[in-house]
Amino acid sequence: MTLPFNFRSRRAFLKNAGLGCGSLAMTSLLNDEGILSKAGAAEAPTLSHTRPPHFAPKAKSVIWLFMPGSPSQMDTFDYKPELQKRDGTPLKGADPKTGFFTTSGKLLKSPFNFKQHGQSGAWVSEVFPHTAQHVDDMSFIYSCFSKSNNHTPAMLEMNSGMFLQGRPCMGSWVTYGLGSENRNLPGFVVLHGAMPRGGKPIWSPGFLPKVYQPTSINGVEPIGDLSRRNGMSEPQQRAQLDILKAMNQQHQELRPHELDLAARLESFELAYRMQTAAPEAMDVNQESETIHKAYGVDRAETQLVAKQCITARRLVERGVRFVQLYAGTNGGGGGVADVPWDGHNDIGANHRIAAKSVDQPIGALLADLKSRGMLDETLVVWGGEFGRTSDSQGSLGRDHNPHAFTMWMAGGGIKGGVQYGASDEFGYKAVENRIGVNDLHATILHLLGIDHTKLTYRFNGRDFRLTDVGGKLINEILA
Amino acid sequence: MATPSDFGRQGVPPTHPDLLDFLAEKLIRGGWKLKPIHQLIMNSSVYRQSGADNAIAAKTDPDNKLWWRRGAMRLEAEVIRDTLLSVSGSLDKKMFGMGSLDQASPRRSIYLTVKRSNLIPILQLFDAPDSIQSIGHRDVTTVPPQSLAMMNSALARQLAEKFANRVHSAPGKSIEQVVNESYELALSRPPTAREKQQMISFINAQAATYGGDKGVELAVTDYCQMMFCLNEFIFID
């Protein structure tokens, strides 16, 4: 077999192959089907539809369960007995301007009961009974911090490493680095309910070529332009594409050096096949009733996230590289649709509703991945964009807090039952083994077989990295 | 100049430095006016040459760095959209006034508002920059979502309907006339005898599958939409 890359430069590679998740696949198809050689291309690129990682990966795919609005660490996984005891007393060193509004400076205990679970004895709040069953497969990181106390910049940072617009998000970097395994599906998919705060720029490919932008699906409507217009039958569209193909081939024969033309010719065929492959991948109705019940498709409060989680599993099963799922709904109360976890007024009421919408689906997803033998190769990431304050906003709410929050990861090369790092005794600030977003990114890339210092893209005269000049591997959570 | 945003040590040196100096001097002496420079470049024999193959040149300069042929160039996103509007006969040439965020607006793409949080889908699809940071060079990508938009989007279909209406509205017009006229409008050339025959038989066969009074109209629309999808339509050489 020839080496998958024989381009002189990445730029030439991009220009000639017009690659990307789809196009990488496409170029491979062109080779498979002899189109490039038929077109008489002088230097037919020989590349497979995946790109080699830097070293053997532990995870093939990522499912990132993003909790927009940000769950509170001390009400979910970071149990703080001191906080429970000292409810209503002043928080020493409290900065009322930590969050977006103003906080009281008085400690607010969690309204929830905590219990230890599994062999590892991880503490989990009562709002996550299903998720709690999987703590022995998880590594908890209690010492995360980020840089912004406002949703949109914090989401940008969590996704792209930078709190301003314009940088590529992680899913784009990963598909740029590794390509896609499925010829007929995009490599990077975003599943969301209400459009999260910050909108599409939070999952932008930034300065990377547009081919690395995600296909975003809002949970209700199908992928854009994926179905034939009403009134046109499949044979009618086939006939239309056949004459197009014949014309484009005649045009191509006179221009043997133009690889772009051959690539575009094939892209129509790929698009035609996607019309069947993508709806099939997205069709949760093909799953059994047992699966539907396990995820909670049958109940109103869990339905949206259940369907998203099933879809995520189906996509990963079919070789989609990176699925980011924006989970949680306001469930008719307690939160705002685009930031469902944003418990400013009443953390108890808000988190009960938000957690209910995600807990059963996430528990079922982990169980389902495990029973199918997919968890080993699928990295599941859970978390929001920052944490929440230990002191109260108003009497019952919590404001934003970038100084400490908890994330967990499971599967795909993650050691199970690990509790890493620590926040202070009230969960206000990360104090031990502090983990920034660059460190999370470096670790996730590592699990995918990518050295974060070597995944670069030259833009405006310099090489950019997802981790910029930072990023430290969290070795303690690696299996 | 392969790295237009990097003239420094990390950039790629220009292939024709003397030519660049000559053009720079022309530009300065001409009072920094761009149009005469464009005219000079576009009237040059290099710019006007064809994309014809040349076995020796292809071997010595496979990347065409020395411009021994005219490479096929994909139109830019804005130009693709403007061309669709123009060919379908729906372009509104009005100048000035408010911009729009509606990609279906009949005005030129320069009148589409750039809003960072609400970028124009069809422009994004064809590699328009996101306007957050300046770029020296636009990517040219070829991806299935572009094809899906041309095949299935409401916008592409509506413009195809307008194009079909433009070439097929007069009563008693033959399919041959429709093909001739649409080729002139879309590709600025008459069809070859072979193309004409292929297109006519496609339209007739497609009309038969639709049947009824509307059969021919639908078939001509399918044909017009297919013309928008031709490589010749968005690659110039």
DSSP one-letter code for A211: G
| Distance (Å, whole) CA B207 – CA A236 | 10
User: Pick from A225, A274, A460: which is nearest to B5 by CB?
Assistant: A460
Most B CBs within 10 A among A28, A185, A244, A253, hence the mutation to make, goes to: A244
Please report the pLDDT score of residue A222 as a whole number: 61
The answer to whether A27 touches A6, Cβ cutoff 8 Å, is no
Q: Do A257 and B202 touch (CB under 8 A)?
A: no
A232 close contact with B: CB closer than 8 A: yes
Please report the pLDDT score of residue A42 as a whole number: 29
DSSP one-letter code for A8: S
If 0-12 CB within 10 Å is exposed, 13-18 middle and 19+ buried, where does residue B122 land? buried
Please report the pLDDT score of residue A19 as a whole number: 34
H or E stretch including A191?
strand A188-192
Please report the pLDDT score of residue A43 as a whole number: 29
- Determine the distance in angstroms separating the CA of A48 from the nearest CA of chain B, rounded to an integer: 17
User: Pick from B121, B152, B202: which is nearest to A229 by CB?
Assistant: B152
Please report the pLDDT score of residue A27 as a whole number: 38
- The count of CB pairs under 8 A between chains A and B is 173
A246 close contact with B: CB closer than 8 A: yes
If you average pLDDT over each of A108-122, B47-61, B108-122, which comes out highest?
A: A108-122
Residues of B in contact with A20 (CB under 8 A): 141, 143
Q: Give the least confident one: A25-29, A238-242, B20-24, B25-29.
A: A25-29
Q: Do B2 and A237 touch (CB under 8 A)?
A: no
The answer to whether B111 touches B183, Cβ cutoff 8 Å, is no
Number of Cβ within a 10 Å radius of residue B176: 14
Please report the pLDDT score of residue A221 as a whole number: 58
**Tokens 């002189």 belong to residue:** A8
Please report the pLDDT score of residue B144 as a whole number: 82
Instruction: Collapse the DSSP code of A454 into the 3-class scheme (helix H, G, I; strand E, B; otherwise coil) and give the result.
Output: coil
Q: Residue-wise pLDDT tens for chain A (479 aa)?
A: 333 333 333 334 333 333 333 333 333 333 333 333 333 332 222 223 567 899 999 999 999 999 999 999 999 999 999 999 999 999 999 999 999 999 999 999 999 999 999 999 999 999 999 999 999 999 999 999 999 999 999 999 999 999 998 899 999 999 999 987 887 888 899 998 888 888 888 998 888 877 788 888 876 556 678 888 889 999 999 999 999 999 999 998 888 778 788 888 888 988 898 888 888 998 999 999 999 999 999 999 999 999 999 999 999 999 999 999 998 665 555 567 889 999 999 999 999 999 999 999 999 999 999 999 999 999 999 999 999 999 999 999 999 999 999 999 999 999 999 999 999 999 999 999 999 999 999 999 999 999 999 999 988 778 999 999 999 999 999 99
User: Pick from B3, B130, B202: which is nearest to A239 by CB?
Assistant: B202
Buried b (16+ CB within 10 A) or exposed e, A215-252: bbbebeeebbbbeeeeebeeebbebbbebbbebbbebb
Please report the pLDDT score of residue A183 as a whole number: 77
Minimal CA–CA distance to A447: which of A378, A386, A397, A395? A378
Search chain A and give the residue with CA nearest B3.
Answer: A461
Pick B53 or A168 by higher pLDDT.
Answer: A168
Please report the pLDDT score of residue A49 as a whole number: 52
DSSP one-letter code for A196: P
- Strand partners for A381: A64, A409
Please report the pLDDT score of residue B3 as a whole number: 81
Residues of B in contact with A44 (CB under 8 A): none
Tokens, residue A458: 């030259």
Q: How are the residues of chain A apportioned to helix, strand and coil, as percentages rounded to the nearest 5?
A: 40, 15, 45
A43 close contact with B: CB closer than 8 A: yes
Residues of A in contact with B130 (CB under 8 A): 166, 204, 206
Letter for the amino acid at B40? L
The answer to whether A98 touches A401, Cβ cutoff 8 Å, is yes
Please report the pLDDT score of residue A25 as a whole number: 39
| Distance (Å, whole) CA A348 – CA A109 | 10
A239 close contact with B: CB closer than 8 A: yes
Letter for the amino acid at A332? G
User: Pick from B146, B198, B237: which is nearest to A255 by CB?
Assistant: B237
- Determine the distance in angstroms separating the CA of B15 from the nearest CA of chain A, rounded to an integer: 16
Please report the pLDDT score of residue A432 as a whole number: 98
- Determine the distance in angstroms separating the CA of B89 from the nearest CA of chain A, rounded to an integer: 22
A119-122 own/partner pairs: CB under 8 Å, 24+ apart: A119/A417, A120/A416, A120/A417, A120/A418, A120/A419, A122/A77, A122/A417, A122/A419
Q: What percent of chain B has pLDDT over 90?
A: 69
Tokens, residue B205: 């066969």
**Tokens 């990023």 belong to residue:** A471
**Phi, psi at B98, each rounded to 5°:** -65, 150
Please report the pLDDT score of residue A13 as a whole number: 38
- Determine the distance in angstroms separating the CA of B94 from the nearest CA of chain A, rounded to an integer: 30
- Determine the distance in angstroms separating the CA of A243 from the nearest CA of chain B, rounded to an integer: 7
Letter for the amino acid at A452? H
Q: Do B153 and A272 touch (CB under 8 A)?
A: no
- Determine the distance in angstroms separating the CA of B38 from the nearest CA of chain A, rounded to an integer: 25
For B85-105, the pLDDT digits (tens) are: 999 999 999 999 999 999 999
Please report the pLDDT score of residue A181 as a whole number: 82
- Determine the distance in angstroms separating the CA of A230 from the nearest CA of chain B, rounded to an integer: 10
Q: Do A267 and B153 touch (CB under 8 A)?
A: no
3-class SS letters over chain B: CCCCCCCCCCCCCCCCHHHHHHHHHHHHHCCCCHHHHHHHHHCCHHHHCCCCCCHHHHHHCCCCCCCCCCCCEECCHHHHHHHHHHHCCCCECCCCCCCECCCCCCECHHHECCCCCCCCHHHHHCCCCCCCCCCCCCCCCCCHHHHHHHHHCHHHHHHHHHHHHHHHCCCCCCHHHHHHHHHHHHHCCCCCHHHHHHHHHHHHHHHHHHCCCCHHHHHHHHHHHHHHHCHHHHEEC
**Tokens 């959209």 belong to residue:** B81
Residues of B in contact with A22 (CB under 8 A): 143-145
The answer to whether A344 touches A211, Cβ cutoff 8 Å, is no
User: Pick from B125, B141, B198: which is nearest to A243 by CB?
Assistant: B198
A230 close contact with B: CB closer than 8 A: no
Letter for the amino acid at B24? A
Asked if residue B132 has pLDDT above 90, the reply is no
Pick B85 or B55 by higher pLDDT.
Answer: B85
